Amino acid sequence: MEHIGMPRCPSVVIIEARTLLSKIRTNVLILYIVGSFITRCPLSEEHTMAEPLRVLIVGAGIGGLSTASALARIGAKVDVIDDKPEISVAGVGFGLRINGLRAVRDIGLLEDVLAIGHPAPGIDNYDADGNLLSTMSYGTQDEGLPGCVTMSRIAFLELAAKHALDNGCTFRMSTTVADIAQAADTATVSFSTGDQVDYDLVLGFDGLHSQIRRDYFGEKYAPRPVGGVAWRAGLPNRRKIMQPIICQGYGGKIMLTPLSEDLMYMVLTVAEEGRPRYDASRMAEIMHDRAADLTRGSTFLADALDDVRHAENVAYTPYSTVWVPYPWFRGRVMILGDAAHTMTPYLGSGAAMSIEDGVVLAQELAKDQSLLDAQLNFMKRRLPRVRAVHERSVESMLEEFDSVTEETYRARIDHLRHDEPIANEYANRLLRMPY
């Protein structure tokens, strides 16, 4: 059945999500202790492996393509496969904060990313009536990098694919893994096309619904709904906004993010029980109605909401998370990025965490150590950092949705006015830590 009116914030979903969150809670102090002893080493020709590894990357998304370049830069022979016939992506845009920009710099993509992106120094928080509550910074320009850059998802993928090809990686589209037979010194991969190839390492970057995770780690790590959904659409940037705007509504938020002087995208996030299917021809209308319900008739974003009515690229995404505990490898098969740690997009770092995974793995593989030692040292560096960001992303979502009634809405507005800037500074410092 189709749901046109905005659903009430389902308390049972929030309770279940908080229960899930408690299961993955970690002492963030561990992250600071571990991070303080890690020395980040950018990838360069000086960091090459003694014997080139043959690596298969399953998944031509943001993390997979970035990792392909990271590994190629240290001398690995990299094949990339994807089940789609061509490189494509759902959604409109995304942002890279300081940690993501450091990571793309380490694989030689920074200048190109800055060329296709739009610098976003901070975020303006508003209430439903358009009153400015606070302005939050993405942080100072560490190491000469902007605090955040927003960009088109497909533009980044096209850039990353070209970069991987230029670094000698090969691509096979419309191809999946049929089987992996592991031996002491190799992993023999049988493809859906019928041929077999021997690899030293197989990396599953195949996302939320990862086949590699399911086949080699089990169904128990399947995606778990966390009670939120996102509606996204690309819109004209009529306001000529230069940095993101967040409008806190009753039970969710509307966020406008500039991609250029003329283009922006809207993300509408709400709590929604179940996973209803909607008539594709009515997606723009439903997104508009959801946004209107959040703002309860306010004219603050009336121009953007009117543009939503005419949007042709509305995407609807229920939020789910994945958390695979230590370790993220089974022999010569590893899962990384969303396949191992899908998070909600509330710190804007899901993509950045995937890129970081690739950079750190390449750094460890370039050292004079065994594959197992490289994997263990990778986990030592990644587990506490990713878990802290994963945890905070879920917390942020739950805080936002707890604003349906007049009382909880006013409490949320007070939080955004007084406390959110401090919470944001915590996130800035968390993301700025070494990976």
Helix or strand or coil: residue 334? Answer: strand
> What share of the chain has pLDDT > 90, as a percent?
67
pLDDT band for position 285 (cuts 50, 70, 90)? very high
pLDDT band for position 17 (cuts 50, 70, 90)? very low
pLDDT band for position 68 (cuts 50, 70, 90)? very high
Query: What's residue 250's pLDDT?
Result: 95
Query: What's residue 89's pLDDT?
Result: 74
CATH number of this structure's domain 11-432: 3.50.50.60
Helix or strand or coil: residue 176? Answer: coil
Query: What's residue 346's pLDDT?
Result: 81
Q: Over 60: is that where the pLDDT of 40 sits? A: no
Which residue, among 242, 235, 343, 237, has the nearest Cα to 291 in the 3D structure?
235
Cα Rg of the chain (Å, integer): 21
Tell me the two tokens of residue 297. 């008739």
Query: Do 399 and 412 form a contact (C-beta atoms < 8 A)?
Result: yes
Which residue, among 254, 284, 260, has the nearest Cα to 116 in the 3D structure?
260
Sign of dihedral through CA atoms 310, 314, 318, 323?
negative
Top-confidence residue, 271 or 57: 57
How many other C-beta atoms are found inside a 10 Å radius of the C-beta of residue 332?
22
Residue with tokens 């195949």: 206
**Overall average pLDDT of the 95-110 stretch:** 94
Strand 329-330 relative to strand 252-258, pairing: unpaired
Tell me the two tokens of residue 345. 């997009």
pLDDT band for position 330 (cuts 50, 70, 90)? very high
Sign of dihedral through CA atoms 298, 299, 300, 303?
positive
Alpha-carbon distance 198 to 191, whole Å? 11
Please write the tens of the pLDDT for every residue from 164-189. Answer: 999 999 999 999 999 999 999 999 99
Please write the tens of the pLDDT for every residue from 183-209. Answer: 999 999 999 999 999 999 999 999 999
Residues 6+ away with beta carbon under 8 Å from 162: none
Query: Do 141 and 147 form a contact (C-beta atoms < 8 A)?
Result: yes
pLDDT band for position 434 (cuts 50, 70, 90)? confident
Q: Over 50: is that where the pLDDT of 385 sits? A: yes
Using the 8-state DSSP alphabet, how is residue 200 labeled? S
Q: Over 50: is that where the pLDDT of 4 sits? A: no
pLDDT band for position 14 (cuts 50, 70, 90)? very low
Which residue, among 433, 414, 434, 416, has the nearest Cα to 424 in the 3D structure?
416
* pTM (two decimals): 0.85
How many other C-beta atoms are found inside a 10 Å radius of the C-beta of residue 360?
26
The neighbouring-strand residues paired with 255 are: 246, 267
The neighbouring-strand residues paired with 199 are: 187
Please write the tens of the pLDDT for every residue from 229-250. Answer: 999 999 999 999 999 999 999 9
Query: What's residue 6's pLDDT?
Result: 34
Residues 6+ away with beta carbon under 8 Å from 52: 75, 76, 77
Top-confidence residue, 94 or 180: 180
Query: What's residue 414's pLDDT?
Result: 96
Domain segments of the chain: what residues?
11-432
Please write the tens of the pLDDT for every residue from 111-129. Answer: 999 999 998 888 999 999 9
Alpha-carbon distance 415 to 328, whole Å? 37
Query: What's residue 5's pLDDT?
Result: 35
Which residue, among 333, 326, 343, has the nearest Cα to 383 in the 3D structure?
326
> Which residue type, as a one-letter code, is found at position 2?
E
Which range scores top for mean pLDDT: 24-38, 153-167, 336-350?
A: 153-167
Query: What's residue 187's pLDDT?
Result: 98
